[in-house]
A = this chain, B = another copy of it.
Amino acid sequence: MGSINSINIGVIGYGYWGPNLVRNFSELSGVNVRTVSDFSPDLLAKAKARYPAIQITTDCSDIFNDPEIDAVAIATPVSTHFKLALAALQSGKHVMVEKPMTMTSEQSIELLAEAKRQNRILMVDHTFVYTGAVRKMAELVSSKELGDIYYYDSVRVNLGLFQHDVNVLWDLAVHDLSIMDYVLPAKPYAVSATGISHVPNGTENIAYLTLFFENNLIAHLHVNWLAPVKVRRTLIGGSQKMIVFDDLDPSEKIKVYDKGITLNNNDSESVYQKMIGYRTGDMWSPKLDITEALRTEGLHFLHCIQTGERPISDGEAGLRVVKILEAANQSMKEQGKLVKLNLAEVSS
């Protein structure tokens, strides 16, 4: 299937994100965007005008049925991910699907199984994982430069865009969950979430999410579609150093603080205050790789297709994020009730 020298890709969905996929895949050597599919003839016309050599179709089965196509990238509404990804896998294509991977964890599990059966790559487009900033954070965490990780705290708020088919957790928190899944050394065992809706259909536009981990680690996410200012800030606290990741800072997105507390092994007679010391040192902002994340991700997808390697953001990462979103939704409906997670079994 496909030519010897080049991977042929079909892209389904040419709305908000699809054009970015097409542009990035087009710029990679060894990749050819062969077909773009969308319900909208207008959007297809735009694609054709920009990339005259691309085939366009309103029927995505043209992609599934094309034996020249090796891989499919899916950038459609969440509710359609499962059906399209399943069809693509069943027709023997490698798949890269937008996040969140599916609407339910059952669907994700089915996709994982199908990918295994077909021996095809299933990758979820956790784009942030491929940014220079997030990769630097992962590197700092895994190198133990931060020491033990104490907490992960993220704020992602702004005004709009209210989605109609998913709530703010599925729209915004999914970014943070995918980052956490990549950066943190452990998986959470339970979640407590709260939230509120200010629109008639009851879709939550503000949500708060606490994730519980073993070993004294906690994570918290704050997402909001109705904030007067835009904030994209993550704190990672470690026993040795702490990170501030401000994605809106044009030049210094990652700052590493040599700060923390020291716990003195005083004998029990000593007063409490002497047990805790405060330590402050230099701050350091590393230079980051500024390659566009989708380019790095596209190259990685290509590499996995060619080598059979498991993607960094593989189907299991996609499943873990969906499981957390499901549990968070349930907890939010019950005003913070603890909901247990079972992520360990994901990694088979």
Contacts and interface: CB of A to CB of B under 8 A. Distances in A.
B228 A216 contact: no
A83 interface: no
A87 interface: no
How many chain copies does the complex carry?
4
A interface, over-half SS: strand
Interface in A107-148: none
B227 A276 contact: no
Nearest to A339: B336
B227 A235 contact: yes
Contacts of A11: none
Interface stretch (A59-67, A157-165, A303-311): A157-165
Interface in A163-215: 164, 190, 192, 194-201, 206, 208, 210, 212
A283 B252 contact: yes
Contacts of A286: 282
Contact of A284 (B208, B229, B285): B285
A244 B218 contact: no
Interface residues of A, number: 73
A218 B196 contact: yes
A237 B229 contact: no
A15 interface: no
A331 B160 CA distance: 32
A16 interface: no
Interface stretch (A35-43, A254-262, A316-324): A254-262
A164 B273 contact: yes
Best-surrounded residue of A190, A196, A224 (most CB of chain B within 10 A): A196
B235 A210 contact: no
Given A155-B155, A159-B278, A280-B287, 5 more contacts: A194-B210, A200-B275, A212-B335, A283-B284, A335-B338
